[in-house]
Amino acid sequence: MMRGVRRSGDWAGTSALGGLAGLLLLLAGCLGGAGGTRPSPTPSTVAPSATPSLSPTATATPSPTPSPTAVPAPRLELSTSSAPQGGTFLVHLIAPGYTQPHISFLGRDLEPFPVPDGWAALGAVGQPPGVFRLPSAGDYTVAAAATPPGGGERPQLSARLRVTAVAFPVDHITLGPPGLSLLTPGSEAVDQRILSRAYATFTPVAMWHGPLLLPVDVPVTGHFGEKQSFNNGPAVGSHSGTDLGAPEGTPVRAAADGRVVFAGALSVRGNGVVIDHGLGVLTGYFHLSRIDVHDGEQVKRGQVIGAVGETGVADGAHLHWELAVGGLQVDALAWTRSAPTVP
């Protein structure tokens, strides 16, 4: 609150003027008779001040408040209603402007990546490294959620996927003492630890374009998912890759563009190379007689990365070729016929 300040100088000036006026009046009274009659002072005419006219003030018309644009409800679509054991599919969360997506299938979180109208992810009916067991046939749920623009409640979406059974054959394998000595739970655990880390790689850019290239153009000698019988023992497990039998030294080529994330020796799979093709898609090449690439190297589709061999546990020279999607091993041959198209 401002307080008025009365300056002492104002009062002093007023007193001085009052004293001077009194003195002049006194002098005028003493000398008035000698000076004759003085005309009365004519009052000065003061023009009255004009009263300012008040012009009407224009009132601005308020702009109508735009109605908030309704945010369309998100939708969840799958590229297929069914997938075989060892198969893959594309999940499409159509949700423009939505953030923080979460997509899951078979108890695992999928890695979403942005697309023009929302988000997408690659799903897999596969097996983790070292597990050798595929999901059973049946109906499963793909679940998704995302945060709408401006926040608020996250819509919960779901879609059904039918997993169909595959009649996998049995592969009878004969191993001598050297191979059997390497085939132990401990040795497989070493491979599992290294491959799990490599197959968990996620680069948010697709480096593959169209179907994958068969690394060695020869007939298939072992299929993904088949059970294996060693030395006439019981048929067990689920083969984690595709075997391509070829003479030792036959060049092995990269199935697609990508980046090498592993190049070295494994216990069961022998000399191997793993290539990241983006969006959680990786290929592995094993039992190599030699390795021609190194960690971190960018490779092109068809580039020679090594040669066929029989290092590790093998019953002859061949390439063991794996495909992993989202950390799960799936059927690589299916991707040589048709690969998912990202929106």
The residues spanned by each domain of the chain are 75-164, 170-337
Q: What's the confidence (pLDDT) of residue 184?
A: 76
The DSSP H or E segment spanning 182 is: helix 177-182
The pLDDT value recorded for residue 342 is: 87
- C-alpha 316/C-alpha 174 separation (Å) is 10
The two tokens of residue 173 are 């394998």
Task: Say which residue, 237 or 99, is predicted with more confidence.
Answer: 99
> 75-164 and 170-337: same fold?
no
* DSSP secondary structure, 132-154, as one string: --PPPSEEEEEEEEEEPTT--PP
**30 pLDDT above the threshold of 70:** no
**Predicted local confidence at residue 46, as pLDDT:** 37
Which bin fits 296, alpha (ψ -120 to 50), beta or left (φ > 0)? left
- Predicted confidence at residue 62, as pLDDT, reads 58
Res 48: pLDDT: 39
For residue 18, pLDDT over 70 is answered with no
201: which DSSP letter? -
Instruction: Report, as an integer, the average pLDDT of 200-228.
Output: 96
| Sign of the torsion angle spanned by Cα atoms 162, 226, 263, 298 | negative
CA distance 216 to 250: 8
Helix then strand then coil, in percent of the chain rounded to 5, is: 15, 35, 50
| Structure-block tokens of residue 236 | 């067990």
Put simply, whether the predicted model's pTM sits higher than 0.85 gets the answer: no
Identify the residue with better confidence: 234 or 136: 136
The reported pLDDT for the residue numbered 222 is: 94
Q: What percent of the chain has pLDDT over 90?
A: 68
Q: Which tokens is 70 given?
A: 């309704």
Give 30 or 288, the one with higher predicted confidence: 288
Helix (H) or strand (E) holding 24: helix 8-31
* Per-residue model confidence (pLDDT) at position 69: 64
Mention every residue, 6+ apart, whose C-beta is less than 8 A from residue 28: none
Count of alpha carbons within 13 Å of 176, Cβ hemisphere only? 4
**pLDDT (0 to 100) of residue 42:** 39
What is the per-residue pLDDT for 262? 98
Q: Quote the DSSP letter at residue 128.
A: -
Percent of the chain with pLDDT over 70: 80
Residue 235's alpha-carbon distances to 167, 173, 227, 288, 331, in angstroms, are 14, 10, 5, 26, 19
Residue 328 near residue 126 (C-beta atoms within 8 A): yes
pLDDT at 68: 56
pLDDT digits (tens, 9 = 90+) for 57-112: 444 555 655 555 677 899 999 999 999 999 999 999 999 999 999 999 999 999 99
Distance CA 324, CA 127 (A): 9
Write down the pLDDT at residue 177: 77
CATH code, residues 170-337: 2.70.70.10
Q: What is the spatial distance between Cα 110 and Cα 314, in angstroms, rounded to a whole number?
A: 33
Label residue 168 exposed, middle or buried (CB < 10 Å: 0-12, 13-18, 19+): middle
Lowest mean pLDDT among 60-69, 117-126, 148-157, 258-267: 60-69
**What sign has the CA pseudo-torsion 217, 208, 270, 123?**
negative
CATH 2.60.40.1220 fits 75-164, yes or no: yes
